[in-house]
């Protein structure tokens, strides 16, 4: 699935995988890939700007860790991020119901 197909939903997808546990950027990418059975494979040029944007919005917070001598930034969801995610889940549920009613079998 191309990143363009995710436009408008990428933030919710990222927040959903970070909601489970704090993850570094590569971990976010791997979680999205695993939970979508390989359908979501974001390029770094899409993922990392989205992570920084979500942090600027206050939906994520980050901290630096050192693992195996390498520094990496770990992201975790904030209370505001959880609220935003809940609203996005509700909106997706409503949109999904409408789309299924229209596109589903006659």
pLDDT band at 1 (very low <50, low <70, confident <90, very high): low
pLDDT at 58: 98
Where are the chain's structural domains? Answer: 3-100
Band (43; pLDDT cuts 50, 70, 90) = confident
Asked if 28 contacts 51 with a C-beta cutoff of 8 angstroms, the reply is yes
Classify domain 3-100 at the CATH topology level: Arc Repressor Mutant, subunit A (1.10.10)
Structure confidence at residue 2 as a pLDDT band (50, 70, 90): low
Instruction: Report the predicted TM-score, pTM, of the whole model to 2 decimal places.
Output: 0.86
Q: How open is the CA angle 100-105-106, to the nearest 5 degrees? A: 110
pLDDT digits (tens, 9 = 90+) for 70-84: 899 999 999 999 999
């Amino acid at each position: 699935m191309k990143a363009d197909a995710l436009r408008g939903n990428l933030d919710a997808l990222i927040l959903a995988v970070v909601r489970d546990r704090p993850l570094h950027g590569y971990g976010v990418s791997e979680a999205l890939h695993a939970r979508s059975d390989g359908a979501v494979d974001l390029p770094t040029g899409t993922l990392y700007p989205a992570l920084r944007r979500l942090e600027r919005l206050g939906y994520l917070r980050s901290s630096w860790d050192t693992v195996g001598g390498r520094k990496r930034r770990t992201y975790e969801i904030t209370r505001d991020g959880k609220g935003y995610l809940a609203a996005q889940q509700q909106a997706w549920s409503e949109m999904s119901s409408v789309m299924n009613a229209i596109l589903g079998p006659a």
